Structure 1
């Protein structure tokens, strides 16, 4: 398929825009995920909270754009669109791969002088997750995704759905598996809230608490009931914690 060039202007999807927002919540999806994952979160937020989500290339409204296979390129492409938003107090919330994308993007924004992002919420990802030296095969990716609960097994049994979804998920898994946070990266000025499920097979509470080393601001860690996608049944709680007063 011939796809259009990357257009970072399409990177932000606004799910709700109050007339005079007091706070903005910016959500970063998991591997294989899209901005639509957070569409229903408006009902969990105060009326004056703006809700936007990042749309990675290659899915939903950016389906015709090429997938981005490197973390640095993805974070670079999101920095300018997010810097261009009105400077209201802002919280970044990223789940799983999205936690790393949000962290890398915020490092770039702070380096550029952006100060209105007050909190980074990292969900479902340990701070010190090492890079994977050998990429997963397609079958290993499907097995992993099914085990984490992100996509039902029935989807992979449908040849058309598998053909449509697998390139996106493969790209994202290879991207995040090849990524390791630069140990020389400066600590964030924004505070960090780390969230994980108590039955997440990939993230222990200790791994979540290790995010404390990534910030010079306030830090908190909360463990909620559930597996890697604990935030689906606990969306209201996660939204409340993310947007609590600074």
Structure 2
């Protein structure tokens, strides 16, 4: 297929690694944006070509209509990454991004016969584990309260009313999408799934994380870390090692990495 040149509004490639033998597609959390994965991209390059998805309704896509349905999200992302399937691909998603990684993988396998090397599902319960949550129906103060609970947003941003007015619509749309998402217990992918979870995540129990096992017909692995929903911040080296080793197992020519994503 050759190197894809035409830039996409959906794709950010911070450290192009054209000669890499593997590509990692990264999907942010609800309200998140592509630069969340800048440190991971920097750490894995040039062994891994990392691309990060930029959702509509935020940053440079602030004027693009937001999406409020996981199926619509997954359809759009699967279409956007087709040109990037010129080499083996793995997907990494955190929180809402983990569900999107699963649903995009379903579409790649079903529609293209393309089986990713791995799906890394971080900070999210299994697709079949449902909780009745209503953050998307709260007022602005209620949404901010949830953001503080999950400790995923810088306090300076929370204190800036102008910035909040810009980002809250995108956050609310993402929560609408993920909180209305439903998946049947028997829904599976062929790609192996590696789950990463915090032992004190208020939105995912260990049982709910383990339940991802039922959503793959391939290999399954579970890694539990100390911390809450954004446990990644305190375990960057370990997570990077897990990703590198999983990819190097699939591609023996890829060296296992130990760089920091800090």
Same fold (TM over 0.5): yes
Establish whether residue 217 from structure 1 lines up as the match of residue 218 from structure 2: yes
- Out of 137, 144, 147, which is 1:145 matched to? 147
Superimposed CA distance per residue, residues 1-49 of structure 1 (whole angstroms, 9 cap, x where no aligned partner): xxxxxxx931111122223111111110000000010012134326321
Task: State whether residues 192 and 216 of structure 2, in contact with CA within 8 Å, keep that contact through their aligned partners in structure 1.
Answer: yes
Superimposed CA distance per residue, residues 185-229 of structure 1 (whole angstroms, 9 cap, x where no aligned partner): 3x2110000000122122122211110000000100000122110
Q: CA deviation at 1:239?
A: 2.3
Q: Which deviates more, 40-49 or 158-167?
A: 40-49
Q: CA deviation at 1:152?
A: 3.6
Higher strand share: 1
State the superposition RMSD in angstroms: 1.9
Whole-angstrom CA distance in 1 between matches of 2:10 and 2:65: 13
Task: State whether residues 27 and 98 of structure 2, in contact with CA within 8 Å, keep that contact through their aligned partners in structure 1.
Answer: yes
Task: State whether residues 122 and 196 of structure 2, in contact with CA within 8 Å, keep that contact through their aligned partners in structure 1.
Answer: yes
Q: Which deviates more, 95-104 or 226-235?
A: 226-235
Secondary structure (helix, strand or coil) at the match of 2:213 reads helix
Superimposed CA distance per residue, residues 165-202 of structure 1 (whole angstroms, 9 cap, x where no aligned partner): 111111111111111124453x2110000000122122
Corresponding residue for residue 3 of structure 1: none
Corresponding residue for residue 198 of structure 1: 199
Corresponding residue for residue 166 of structure 2: 164
Corresponding residue for residue 5 of structure 1: none
Superimposed CA distance per residue, residues 46-88 of structure 1 (whole angstroms, 9 cap, x where no aligned partner): 6321011111111123222110111111111111111221431
Corresponding residue for residue 230 of structure 2: 229
Corresponding residue for residue 4 of structure 1: none
Secondary structure (helix, strand or coil) at the match of 1:118 reads coil
Q: Which deviates more, 27-36 or 231-240?
A: 231-240
Secondary structure (helix, strand or coil) at the match of 2:107 reads helix
Secondary structure (helix, strand or coil) at the match of 1:194 reads strand
Task: State whether residues 91 and 243 of structure 1, in contact with CA within 8 Å, keep that contact through their aligned partners in structure 2.
Answer: no
Q: What is the correspondence of 1:85-104 to structure 2 with a 5 Å cutoff?
A: 85-104=84-103
Which TM-score applies when normalising by structure 1? 0.89
Q: What is the correspondence of 1:10-159 to structure 2 with a 5 Å cutoff?
A: 10-45=9-44, 47-127=46-126, 128-130=128-130, 132=132, 134=134, 135-138=136-139, 139-159=141-161
Alpha carbons of 1:86 and 1:179: their partners in 2 closer, same or farther (altered >3 Å)?
closer
Task: State whether residues 105 and 115 of structure 2, in contact with CA within 8 Å, keep that contact through their aligned partners in structure 1.
Answer: no
Corresponding residue for residue 3 of structure 2: none
